[in-house]
Amino acid sequence: MINSFSRRAMLRQTAIAGFGALTGSFSANMDPQSILTRQIPSSGERLPVVGLGSWQQFDVGPSDPDRRSLRDVLTLMHKQGGKLIDASPMYGRAEEVIGDLTTDLALTDNFFLATKVWTTGKQAGIDQMQTSLRRMRRKTLDLVQIHNLVDWQTQLKTLKDWKQAGTIRYIGITHYTASAHDQLERIVKSEPIDFVQMNYSIRVRNAERSLLPSAREKGVAVLVNEPFETGSLFRLVKGKPLPTWSSEYDIRSWGQFFLKFILANPAVTCVIPGTSDPKHLTDNLGAGSGRLPDGKIQAQMAAYVATL
């Protein structure tokens, strides 16, 4: 995968150049109690601020060697205090792989499993969500979101019914482009949803303008996708050192730099970078511990990246 290769190459070059601080974030002995948590506003339940996306990485077959790596990722995630895993029927075999591996590891009920409904029509939506339950080996799903707002008015009615029946715990909406932020915001303001998922990153900051403040005002939890801009951020910083002042915020890698920028916004509940690499998983989770930048430093981070 392009994204994984870019990050892997960047980390290798960084190590060769002598930036040894990065390796400290790869410790498999990270204290699960050290990861920051934030509340889901609608319930008060707390979630670790770094989760796991599954697009591309978890779309593997039963005999694919990546399955072993994904098993290690989930094992480490549990040991290190991570909880939320985000999937979708759109992601090929991701739901099935997550269900298989969490069952094999006897961790089915230890993760906060989020998936999506991605189809048109009421019955098609019901059928798809029932399939998700089977694939993920769950009687109850923690969160179901309307993927990219596909037929959102129809699907939202069903999500409300399923939530009332106890089949799903939380409901939400998603999109991955800034062009959809206005529509996401209108729904956040007008509908009783628990979560909104959006793209937000150090160079793509449209969400700051109105969507993030509206979610905070309305008490809607925020999941952030595309934190690394499909890997382009790692290509941008390849071979470049972290700014010296970043260590003051317990930042040990560029991945943590980008994630801590996002987590500096108090409206963000959880950021969900995807990976199939155990080292990257540990590094990502490391962004959820230690000191977070404030608004002033967040602006400094964005300004620094703009110079690269």
Characterize the bridge pairing of strands 270-271 and 52-53. unpaired
Average pLDDT, the chain: 92
pLDDT digits (tens, 9 = 90+) for 295-307: 999 999 999 999 9
* Identity of the residue numbered 12: R
Q: Residue 20: what pLDDT?
A: 34
Q: Which residues of 68-82 are buried (b: 16+ CB within 10 A; e: fewer)?
A: ebbbbbbbbbbebbb
Specify burial of residue 120 (Cβ count, 10 A radius: 0-12, 13-18, 19+).
Answer: exposed
Q: What is the CATH number of the domain that holds 199?
A: 3.20.20.100
Please check whether residue 230 lies inside any domain of the structure: yes
Specify burial of residue 17 (Cβ count, 10 A radius: 0-12, 13-18, 19+).
Answer: exposed
169 φ, ψ (degrees, to nearest 5): -90, -35
Quickly state the pLDDT bin for 3 (edges 50, 70, 90): very low
Please check whether residue 111 lies inside any domain of the structure: yes
89, 95 contact by CB (below 8 A): yes
Domain count, the chain: 1
Of 86, 45, 56, 74, which Cα lies nearest the Cα of 196? 86
Quickly state the pLDDT bin for 30 (edges 50, 70, 90): low
Please check whether residue 96 lies inside any domain of the structure: yes
Please check whether residue 147 lies inside any domain of the structure: yes
pLDDT digits (tens, 9 = 90+) for 61-103: 988 888 999 999 999 999 999 999 999 999 999 999 999 999 9
Stated as kind and residue range, the H or E segment containing 295 is helix 295-306
Q: What stretches of the chain adopt beta strand conformation (E)?
A: 37-39, 46-48, 52-53, 84-86, 112-117, 141-146, 168-174, 195-199, 221-225, 270-271
- State mean pLDDT over 204-215: 99
Please check whether residue 209 lies inside any domain of the structure: yes
Please check whether residue 271 lies inside any domain of the structure: yes
Residue 246 CA to residue 226 CA, distance in Å, equals 22
Q: What percent of the chain has pLDDT over 70?
A: 89
Q: Residue 65: what pLDDT?
A: 87
Q: Is the pLDDT of residue 6 over 90?
A: no
The domain of 160 spans: 2-8+48-306
Please check whether residue 14 lies inside any domain of the structure: no
pLDDT digits (tens, 9 = 90+) for 125-171: 999 999 999 999 999 999 999 999 999 999 999 999 999 999 999 99
225, 53 contact by CB (below 8 A): yes
Q: Residue 281: what pLDDT?
A: 98
Model pTM score: 0.91
Output the CA angle 285-251-267, nearest 5 degrees: 65
Please check whether residue 29 lies inside any domain of the structure: no
